[in-house]
Amino acid sequence: MGTTAREEMSRFWEKNTKSNRPLSPHVTIYKWSLPMAMSITHRGTGVALSLGVSLFGLAALVLPEQFPHYLAQVRALSLGPALLCSAKFLLAFPFCYHTWNGIRHLV
């Protein structure tokens, strides 16, 4: 005669508890390595680029003015060179990293 799923689960958890097995491997048990960090960063930059392009495209469709108008507004803020350089780096880094890491992966 067959057993129910509840009985099977109960037996499984009893066996697991008695043998002191971990539930599943977790990120905390792995030793961090450069390829692991690069893979995670590659995925993160991919998500950031996808969201950024989507939001920029949506803004281009929804906002009433053309791009030069908003560029003039940013220039009117008179932001310092350090802040502008940092902002440019934050925009360029995901694109450059994702591109070069993708080429590295293909090679």
Which residues 6+ apart lie within 8 Å of 49 measured at CB? Answer: 94, 95, 98
Instruction: Name the binding residues for heme.
Output: 98
Give the tokens for residue 12: 């499984």
Q: Tell me how far apart the alpha carbons of residues 84 and 49 are, in angstroms, rounded to a whole number.
A: 20
| Cβ burial, residue 41 (10 Å; 0-12/13-18/19+) | middle
Instruction: Name the binding residues.
Output: 98
Radius of gyration of the chain, Cα coordinates, nearest whole angstrom: 25
